[in-house]
Amino acid sequence: MACLSLSSSARAPALTLVAFALLVGGCTSDRGRFPSLAKRPAERAFGTAQPVNVPVVPDATAPLPPSADVAARITALREQARSAHRTFESRQPIAARAAGAARGAAVGGEAWSVAQVALARLDSARSQGMVPMADLDRMLIVAEQAAAVEPNDDLIVIRAAQEEVSGLIADEDRTIANLRGQIAG
């Protein structure tokens, strides 16, 4: 009842005092009600497990097929990349003419739009070459992991194919960047 007769300015300190009392009351010295977090004797006796060394192999990578299959797969991937590169090269002259015509043209104008479509067709051909590149990258990673454990003859063949296809893609990237530079400049 005494609290009800306090003014609003006196209530704030009284409520603060009650909250403080409740908070301090929660910090009792009766610690016997809660279990200790210290190590128990049984944990000391049986807690002797040692970590196991397991080779790390990504879950997403499938094991490589036998060498004969690897050679056939690499041949197919190289041909797929070369075919995409031939498509790229067949579209390159058209894109070069369109980029030359669009040099200095207004953005959104007819010449600029034609050049953008021609560059998109080059990008599409480049993308077709990226599919075998991704497969070769995956095969290279798996072969490198296998070579870390024991010699792997497939690694040399896979690396050579990956470098060849990577070179084709890099040439295409330079060509596209050069043509885009002509349009922007």
Give the whole-angstrom CA distance, residue 159 versus residue 130: 16
Tens-place pLDDT, residues 81-103: 999 999 999 999 999 998 888 88
Which secondary structure element, helix H or strand E, spans residue 77, and what is its range?
helix 67-102
**Does 136 have pLDDT greater than 60?**
yes
The pLDDT of 48-71, averaged and rounded, is 60
Give the whole-angstrom CA distance, residue 86 versus residue 92: 10
Q: Pick left, alpha or beta for residue 103 (phi over 0 → left; psi -120 to 50 → alpha; otherwise beta).
A: beta
Name residue 160's amino acid. Answer: A
The pLDDT of 60-82, averaged and rounded, is 77
Tally of CB atoms within 10 A around 169: 19
Contacts made by residues 24-29, CB under 8 angstroms, sequence distance 24+: none
The pLDDT of 177-183, averaged and rounded, is 89
Three-state secondary structure call for residue 62: coil
Tens-place pLDDT, residues 13-44: 777 877 776 666 666 566 567 777 777 776 66
